[in-house]
Amino acid sequence: MATKLALIEERLRKLEAEVHELKTATGNEKSLPWYRQAAGQFKDDPVFDEIVRLGKEIRDAERTPDPVVRKRAVRRKGT
Report d(CA 6, CA 13) in Å as an integer: 11
**What does DSSP assign to residue 63?**
S
Global pTM reads 0.40
pLDDT in tens, 33-76: 889 988 999 999 999 999 999 999 999 999 877 766 666 655 65
**Would you say 29 and 23 are in contact if contact means Cβ atoms under 8 Å apart?**
yes
> What is the per-residue pLDDT for 37?
86
Domains of the chain, residue spans: 2-78
Whole-number Å distance between alpha carbons of 19 and 22: 5
User: For the chain, where are the E strands, in sequence order?
Assistant: none
**Residue 56 corresponds to which amino acid?**
K
Whole-number pLDDT of residue 70: 60
31 DSSP assignment: P
